[in-house]
Amino acid sequence: MSVLLVDDDVAILRAYKKALASLGMTVETTGSGEDAIELVKSRSFEAILCDISMPGMTGIEFLRNVRAHDLDVPVILMTGEPNLESAIRAVEYGAFRYLTKPIENEELRAVATRATGLRKMADLKREAMALAGPRRPRLAERIALDVRFSWGMSLMWIAFQPIVAWQDRSVFGYEALLRSDEPLMANPADMLDAAERLERLHELGRAVRASIATKALEAPRRVKLFVNLHSADLNDDDLFAVTAPLSRIADRIVLEVTERASLHRVTNLSAKVTQLESLGFQIAVDDLGAGYAGLTSFTQLEPTIAKLDMSLVRGVDSDPRRQSVIRSMKKLCDELNMLVVAEGVETVAERDALAELGCDLLQGYLFAKPQRAFEQPKL
């Protein structure tokens, strides 16, 4: 693990380098932001730790320059004089952490370890995206889209597909999936596409969540219900209301945020995630390996569950490259205290390969197709 440490205080450089080197990290040091930028241009680092107050180029200016060359590397800013302005600017340019000096060795090591793990995850996600292939194109225009969407809403229903803990031969939870009997809205992607173009995403999201909360009364006890969120749902105040239907059963709900949609339009994302967790919800990153590469989903969502996209799972039993990516992702998720769900399992060979790779939970047609009722899977 290669780490860059930037600080104009020689004593701090020496002390922090020793603390990080004790973890087996290779630590490059410099006392100048300008020199550090040249290092970033010439090589790749898994994490960067930089002081904010330095002569010449400040830590904030350094961070801005880093982002021109590397969008993914986690940058940890350190300061002995914290203030709101520098903290805000650090967030704007995607700082991973904002630490106040003096920093205890234990905290420094913990933050640096998590940062390097997230950098590796970003690299793996880019490799996984190459395996996923081209994305599904947007829908063609529909005649009377608004009318069709309204019909789709009126004929909407929720299907449930089990998520199994294969090692224990038990049901961990069920994913709730949007369905509609309106022919032009039968594909959930079509329904979401129409809602987005009609600016009715909040209306759709609220209807789906209310339906799931009602059906939850029929669910087996002690199982989790996985609920998909569109990124726009995170800007809907109703999601965070204590009186909202799902909030009343939040301790049973895992909110899945897809990597297929950018989160950059979500305001105050980290604060919103904290609020959801305070209500009792768990957070999962969905479609891992087929969405936006980079660290945004992990650094801001802080998920407890990661769902591997089926593009990684398909044919994993005979594809060493997929096996390598999943094995590495699983290892990093373990280090980040995340459960791993492998989606789209269709064959016994895929199931056995994923179990061998250590995936915690499995989901797919091999066990059960999505159904209106909470069906017992084939175990």
Q: What is the pLDDT of residue 182?
A: 86
53, 78: one domain? yes
What is the Cα–Cα distance from 328 to 120, expressed in whole angstroms? 9
Q: What is the pLDDT of residue 178?
A: 96
Provide the token pair at 272.
């919103």
16, 165: one domain? no
| SS3 (DSSP) at 166 | coil
Q: What is the pLDDT of residue 284?
A: 94
Phi, psi dihedral angles at 179 (to 5 degrees): -140, 160
Tens of pLDDT, residues 243-285: 999 999 999 999 998 866 667 788 888 889 999 999 999 999 8
Residue with tokens 């880093």: 66
Structural domain for 23, as ranges? 2-132
58, 122: one domain? yes
The list of the chain residues with pLDDT below 50 reads 136-143
Of the candidates 118, 125, 39, 115, the residue with the CA atom closest to the CA atom of residue 78:
115
Using only C-alpha atoms, the chain has a radius of gyration, in whole angstroms, of 23
In Å, what is the CA distance from 84 to each residue of 89, 90, 103, 252? 9, 10, 19, 37
> Is 188 inside a domain boundary?
yes
How far from each other are the two terminal CA atoms of the chain, in whole angstroms?
Answer: 41
> Is 139 inside a domain boundary?
no
**Contact 313/331 with Cβ under 8 angstroms?**
no
What is the Cα–Cα distance from 235 to 135, expressed in whole angstroms? 25
Count the domains in the chain: 2
Provide the token pair at 310.
């089926």
| SS3 (DSSP) at 328 | helix
12, 72: one domain? yes
